Amino acid sequence: MAVLEKIRVKFGIVISAVIALALLSFIIDPQMLASVASLWSSEYRVGKIDGNSVSYQDFDSELNYQNRIFESMYGKSASSDQELEFVRNNAWKTFVDRYLFLVNARKAGITVGDAEIVELTSGDMVSPLIAQSFVDETGAFSKERLSAFLQNMDYDQTGQARMIWEYLRNSVTTEQIYNKYYSLFRQSYFVNPLMMTDDIAENNNSVNVEFVMLPYGFETDSTIVVSDSEIKDYYNKHKELYRQLDSRDIEYIVFEVKPSTEDIAAANEQVVKVYDEFASTDASKMKSFLMKNSDRQYTGEWFKRGELNTVSSDIDKFVFDGDKEVSEVFTKDNTFYVARVMESAMVPDSVFVKHILLQGEQEDLADSLVNVLNRGGDSFVNVATQYSADQNLQVAERGDIGWMTKNTMIPGMESVLTAPLNKIFVIDTQYGRHIVKVTDRTEPLRKKKVAILEKEAVASGNTINEYYVKANEVATKADGKYSEFKKVVEEGGYNLLTLNRFAEGTSRVGVIDDKTKEVSKWAYDAKEGKVSNVININNDYYVIAALKKINKKGYTPVSEVASRIRPILYSQKLGEKKAAEVAEKIQGLSTMEAVAEALNTTVSTKDGVSFTSYANQGLDPKFIGAVSVAEEGKISAPLAGTIGVYVYKVLSHDTGSSYTEDDARNKASQMGYYNLQSLIPVMMTDADVEDNRARFY
Question: What gap in Å lies between CA 276 and CA 384, rounded to an integer?
Answer: 51
What is the band of 548 on the pLDDT scale with cuts at 50, 70, 90? very high
Across the range 667-684, mean pLDDT stands at 84
Range ranked top by mean pLDDT from 13-17, 201-205, 491-495? 491-495
Task: Let me know: does 553 contact 501? Beta carbons within 8 Å.
Answer: no
Q: Is the pLDDT of residue 306 over 60?
A: yes
Task: Specify whether domain 350-442 bears CATH 3.90.550.10.
Answer: no
Q: Which CATH class is domain 205-243+559-655?
A: alpha beta
Architecture of domain 246-258+460-552: Roll (3.10)
Question: What gap in Å lies between CA 427 and CA 180, rounded to an integer?
Answer: 46
Who has greater pLDDT, 122 or 314? 314
Question: What gap in Å lies between CA 44 and CA 245, rounded to an integer?
Answer: 20
Min mean pLDDT across 365-369, 389-393, 396-400, 679-683 is at: 389-393
Write out pLDDT tens, residues 431-490: 888 888 888 999 999 999 999 999 999 999 999 999 999 999 999 999 999 999 999 999
Question: What gap in Å lies between CA 250 and CA 263, rounded to an integer?
Answer: 33
Task: Let me know: does 421 contact 439? Beta carbons within 8 Å.
Answer: yes
Backbone CA torsion sign across 58, 62, 65, 71? negative
Range ranked top by mean pLDDT from 23-32, 56-65, 396-405, 663-672? 56-65
Q: What is the DSSP letter of 638?
A: P
Write out pLDDT tens, residues 258-292: 999 999 999 999 999 999 999 999 999 999 999 99
Res 388: pLDDT: 59
Q: Is the pLDDT of residue 657 over 60?
A: yes
Write out pLDDT tens, residues 21-61: 444 444 444 444 444 444 445 567 999 999 999 999 999 99
Q: Which helix (DSSP H) or strand (DSSP E) does residue 334 occupy? A: none
Domain ranges in the chain?
2-39, 114-188, 205-243+559-655, 246-258+460-552, 261-347, 350-442
Res 414: pLDDT: 86
* Nearest alpha-carbon partner for 474 in 533, 537, 549: 533
Across the range 661-667, mean pLDDT stands at 81
Is-same-fold flag (246-258+460-552; 350-442)?
yes
Chain CA centroid to CA 328, Å? 42
Strands 644-655 and 330-332: unpaired
Question: What gap in Å lies between CA 141 and CA 134, rounded to an integer?
Answer: 6
Question: What gap in Å lies between CA 426 and CA 413, rounded to an integer?
Answer: 10
| Contacting residues for 564 by C-beta, under 8 A, at least 6 apart | none
Looking at the whole model, is its pTM more than 0.75? no
What is the band of 208 on the pLDDT scale with cuts at 50, 70, 90? very high
Across the range 408-416, mean pLDDT stands at 84
Write out pLDDT tens, residues 336-390: 999 999 999 998 988 888 888 888 777 777 887 888 778 765 556 666 666 555 5
